[in-house]
Structure formats: structure tokens, C-alpha cells
Amino acid sequence: QRLACKINLLVRQLEGQSVEVLNPLTGTCAKENFSFSVDAMADAEKKVPAVPESLLKRRKAFATMKAMRVKKMLAEKKARKVTRKLIYKRAEKYHKEYRQMYRREVRLGRTARKVGNFYVPAEPKLAFVVRIRGINGVSPKVRKVLQLLRLRQIFNGVFVRLNKASINMLRIAEPYIAWGYPNLKSVRELIYKRGHGRMRKQRIALTDNALVEKALGKYGIICVEDLIHEIYTVGKNFKPANNFLWPFKLSSPRGDQQNDSEDELKLWFSKDSTCTIKTLGEKPSCSCH
């Protein structure tokens, strides 16, 4: 700064005075008035940038991109916070709904017993079907039914909505399948512990609610609890929700199937819970605990 001040002072002192200027072509000296403007010097400095223009553009573009990224991250964080609150409220609502359903069944049963009657619950709308035999000696009709049920491998399991058509299909493939009526605990443990979704024709484990929201968000299903509720209650979006679930791959049953006196198939849902499916005549039953 001191050197710059001295140069500016010297320039102002020489301003307007005559100085000898050497002509390099002729080798002679001539007196000319010294004229130098500090403002012109500043303009010259402005015209010559300290860094290349391309680098300045890159810096500006990077700063803009960084600002947009930070803005997007903040928006996503805010959206996740809102979604978490919504998921918590929905889970709380489902818990109350399940409890009311259970209490209603208990109340109706007690009321019927008091007057000496029997309470007949409504027919179940949901079934869980497991394939128990291979492909040897399978007729084309049965093979087609198993394909429609998405039971392409032994010990694969799927949820099925019970209606007239699906019950007829189950009767056709009855020698190769075992099926029953799962309760809420079985549905929840199946989806949480063995559930996989179909994403881009691939089998993806359900480790995050974002996967469910990405696949089924347009149907109002944004979390695993929504998926469980839709499957268990057989809601209006049961078909897309069930198609999103990859067929469950269950472990082989414990014990000997042929020598079991009660013809039970104990299929592992997980290491901690089992589902016992009994074939009693034409209508199998399931006792899930």
C-alpha cells in the first residue's frame, strides 16, 4: 500500500510537466508533456481479469448447483418429517381399528352365549396358500392354476382374496397346496420378516418405507403398516398391494409329512413363529399363533 501511494503521488507530480522521450527509431530525444491518468490505469486493471473467464463461470455454476442441492436436501428433510408424523398417526389409527375389531368379535360371542345362541363369525376374505409338492406328474390345468397363483416353486406362499373364482382354483390345485386363514400377527410377521417387493422386476427386501411409497404411493400406501392393513383387511387396493409382494419363500416343514397322524404342515414363517395348516376333508383350516 505504501508503494502504491508513492507511485500515485509521483504520477500526480509529473502530471502536465514536459519530459524527454527517446525515439527508438531515430535515436533522438524529444520533449513531450507527461499525461497519465490514474482512472485510466484502474480501467486497464479492470479489463484484465485476475482469473480466466471459464473458471469464473465454473465457480458460479458450482455455487448455483450447491445452493440448489442444499435447498433440495432441506425440502426432502422437511417432507420426511411430515411423512414420519403421518405414518405414526396411521399406525395409531390401525392399532385402534384392530383392537375394536377384536373387541367386537368378543362382545358378539358373549352376547350370543348369554341368550343360549351361537355366534357365527363372518366368512374370512383372506387366505394364505403354500405349495407343498413339486412339478412331477402335474396336469396342465393344475399347472396353469399354480402359475396364476404365482406358486412356481415348492414351499412358496402367497396371499389370496377368497371369492368364488379363487376358491374353485384352490379346489383344482388342492393336492399340491395347503391353505388357511392367517391372523393379524401372522400377516405382520410374514411381511416384516420375510417380505420382499417387486421393484423393476427384481426381488427387493422391504427395509425402508420409501420403497413401499415409491411403488404404491399412488394408491395411498406409503409405509409397511399401510401394506399390512391393506392385505389383512382385503381393501380396495388389495390387488396392486398383493402383486407388489414377491411370493414368500418359506422353509421346509419340520418332521415327516407322510407319517404325521394329523396331516399337519408346520411351515416356518420365521425362527420365532410357526403356522400350522391342517387339511381336514375338503376345507383346510389354519391355526396361526
Fold annotation for 126-288? Ribosomal Protein L30; Chain: A, (3.30.1390)
Cβ atoms of 248 and 198 closer than 8 Å:
no
Cα Rg of the chain (Å, integer)? 40
pTM for the full predicted model: 0.68
Q: Where are the domains of the chain?
A: 2-47, 53-122, 126-288
Read off the DSSP letter of residue 124: P
Q: What is the pLDDT of residue 288?
A: 42
Q: What is the pLDDT of residue 1?
A: 55
Name the average pLDDT for the chain. Answer: 80
Q: What is the pLDDT of residue 108?
A: 93
pLDDT tens profile 238-280: 999 999 999 999 988 776 555 443 344 444 444 334 444 444 3
Q: What is the pLDDT of residue 253?
A: 76
Q: CA 245 to CA 198: how far, in whole Å?
A: 6
Q: Within the chain, which residues score under 70 in pLDDT? A: 1-49, 255-289
| DSSP-based helix, strand, coil % in the chain, nearest 5 | 50, 20, 30
